[in-house]
Amino acid sequence: MSQKTFSQKTGIPQSTISDWKGKKVNPAADKIMIICSVLGIDPYDLLSGTEGDSYEKPSYITVGKNTAEYLLVDKYRKMSKSQKDRLLGYLDAVAEKIR
């Protein structure tokens, strides 16, 4: 992807991208998620430079706030054990139908 295209897709000025490359400056934290979204990669892969390499991925996932996944996790954390068990059973049943 060209620098110009990357700039257009991320909304990050070309001069800023140029600084990252030329001055060996790293992107600010607020730009990391934008970059990951455009490139379709995990922040861990971007920051570690290990995408595609053989390494053990961390045992956690990153979920953006105000996404469906975040809201699901937030609601799940507030459930009782029996509610969690029922939900997991339902998810297993739905997953079986998808396979």
Give me the residue spans of the domains in the chain.
Answer: 3-48, 68-98
Model confidence pLDDT, tens digit, residues 34-77: 998 888 888 877 887 765 555 566 677 778 888 899 999 999 99
State the pTM of this model. Answer: 0.48
pLDDT at res. 27: 87
The per-residue DSSP string of the chain comes to: --HHHHHHHHT--HHHHHHHHHS-PPPPHHHHHHHHHHHT--HHHHHHT-TTSS-PPPS-----TTSHHHHHHHHHHTS-HHHHHHHHHHHHHHHHHH-
Whether residue 81 is predicted with pLDDT greater than 70 in this model: the reply is yes
Contacts of 97 (CB under 8 A, 6+ apart): none
Q: What average pLDDT does the segment 11-25 reach? A: 87
pLDDT at res. 57: 63
